Amino acid sequence: MNIIEVNGITKKFGKFTALDDIHFSVRKGEICGFIGPNGAGKSTTIRILLGMLKATKGTAKIFGMDVWKDAVEIHKRISYVPGDVNLWPNLTGGEVIDLFLKMRGNGNIKKRDELLKKFDLDPSKKCRTYSKGNRQKVALVAAFACDADLYILDEPTSGLDPLMEKVFQECILEAKKEGKSVFLSSHILSEVEKVCDQVVIIREGKIIETGSLEDMRHLTRNKITLQTKTPVPGLKDFPGVHSFAEENSRVTFQVDTEKLDEVIRHVSQFGILKLESVPPTLEDLFMRHYKTSKATDEGGAV
């Protein structure tokens, strides 16, 4: 069953098209990463899902209900953490969390206090004294102290230190274990990689890739560092090998995932002294995509 269903959403701000006919869906019990560089349209998409912005075209549904018309109904079952958490300077963190729980309904006070401890947040301080990371913690505690079916998180960890990021990852994995769904936007690829079942990649308002990480890896290349007893002749021009570089007796190159087997068989004949293979990160995938689309753009222009 699909928790989120986005069908051909277009959003224009005046003449500027922030989102251009995007489609994707998130299944129940899944953690979906929503990835794109700054200004790609992640927050705009999320605000449409929250019924704050009205799509120019297309429909979006959460729990089968229309995100615009049934916003309040939907919101009773979701938790949201914005990317830039601005809070009321004259309220304490504790007051804000209580306020949020009240507005949302069915908050869990015991969970609230546990999370405060986990995130190491002092709720008696006024929000004006909180750093960016602490403001984010306020929003995270309020979000996870509610019993939601869907968590929508817009770059929630941009101000957290690595320790807190770990706590955050525990929180979403725990939510997943309970069968909840998570929609997590980020421009930091490694952070999404660790926890996501599915990724949706957006760039300049267009979805350029969706699927599981496994699905996408075939598109990309492993990075190999190799040292052999005798040099491998003609490796540079071997099919599937790219970005070949040689330094003393060490060579580095990239290899298409589907050609990996052949390449390794070939080089093993020359006596491997050292072999390092770095799996493709989402980052590589991303760069790769940029390059290819740039190439096609340029190709198209000629």
Partner 1 sequence: MRKHLPGTGSILKLIFRQDRFKISVWLLCLILITISVAYAYPEVYKTEEDIMGFILTMQNPAMEAMLGPVYDANNPPVAAVFAHEMLLFTVIAAAIMNILLIGRSTRTDEEDGRLELLLSLPVGRLSHITAVMLEALILNALLAILTGAGLSAVQTNGITPESSFLYGSILGSAGFLFAAITALFAQLAKTSRGATGLSFTVLIISYIIRAIGDVSSEALSLISPLGWTVRTGVFIDNKWWPVILPLAIGIIITAVVFYLNQIRDLGGGFIPEMKGKTRASALLKTPLGFVFRMQRTNIIAWAIGMFLLSAAFGAILGDLEEYYADLDILQAFLAANPDYTLTEQFVAMLFVILSIISAIPVVMVVLKLKGEENKNRTEHIYSRAVSRTGMLASYMIMAIIVSIIMQTLTAVGLWATSYSILDQTLSLGKTLNAALVFLPAIWVLIALGIFLMGLFPKATSGIWLYFAFCFIVIYLGELLKFPDWLMNLSSFTHVPQLFVEEGDILSLTILTLLAILITIIGFIGYRKRDITG
Ligand X SMILES: Nc1ncnc2c1ncn2[C@@H]1O[C@H](COP(=O)(O)OP(=O)(O)O)[C@@H](O)[C@H]1O
Beta carbons within 8 Å of 115's beta carbon, 6+ residues apart: 140, 141, 144, 145, 171
Segment lying near ligand X (by CB under 6 A), choices 32-40, 157-165, 243-251, 257-265: 32-40
Residue corresponding to tokens 């052949």: 262
Return the residue of 3, 18, 48, 184 that touches ligand X, per CB under 6 A: 18
157 binds Mg ion (CB under 5 A): no
Q: Least separation, in Å, of the C-beta of 206 and ligand X? A: 12
Strand ranges inside 103-167, DSSP E: 150-154
Q: How many other C-beta atoms lie within 10 A of the C-beta of residue 284?
A: 19
38 near ligand X, judged by CB under 6 A: yes
Q: Which does 16 bind (CB under 5 to 8 A by kind): Mg ion, ligand X, partner 1, none?
A: ligand X
Q: CB burial class (10 A; 0-12, 13-18, 19+) of residue 298?
A: exposed
Name which of 142 and 241 has its Cβ closer to partner 1: 142
Using CA atoms of 67, 71, 75, 79 in order, give the dihedral in degrees to the nearest 10: 50
Is the CB of residue 119 less than 8 Å from the CB of residue 167? yes
In order of 172, 199, 276, the CA distances from 79 in angstroms are 12, 20, 42
Report the residue number, 43 or 136, with the smaller CB distance to ligand X.
43
Partner interacting with residue 18 (select from partner 1, Mg ion, ligand X, none; CB below 5-8 Å by kind): ligand X
Nearest partner of 196 among 183, 209, 215, 180, judged by Cα: 183
For tokens 């753009």, what's the residue?
Answer: 297
**Position among 33, 36, 41, 51 found at the interface with partner 1 (CB under 8 A):** 51
Choose which of 1, 8, 27, 39 interacts with ligand X (CB under 6 A): 39
For the segment 118-157, give every residue that binds partner 1 (CB under 8 A): 123-126, 129, 139, 152
- Closer to partner 1 by Cβ: residue 129 or 269: 129
Query: Residue 92 carries which DSSP code?
Result: B
| Least distance CB 174 / Mg ion (angstroms) | 25
Looking at beta carbons, which residue is closest to Mg ion?
A: 43
Query: Which DSSP string corresponds to 164-219?
Result: HHHHHHHHHHHHHHTT-EEEEEES-HHHHHTT-SEEEEEETTEEEEEE-HHHHHTT
The piece of 75-83, 104-112, 188-196, 241-249 that touches Mg ion (CB under 5 A) is: 75-83
How far apart are CB 182 and ligand X at their closest, in Å?
17
Q: Taking CB under 6 A as the rule, does residue 156 contact ligand X?
A: no
* 87 and 96 Cβ atoms separated by less than 8 Å: yes
Number of residues that bind Mg ion (CB under 5 A): 2
* Interacting span for Mg ion (CB under 5 A) from 76-84, 94-102, 201-209, 222-230: 76-84
CA distance 157 to 202: 19
Using CB under 5 A, pick the residue from 4, 43, 101, 136 that binds Mg ion: 43
- Residues in contact with partner 1 by the rule CB under 8 A: 47, 50-54, 71-72, 75-76, 78, 80, 82, 84, 86-88, 90-92, 94-100, 102-105, 123-126, 129, 139, 152
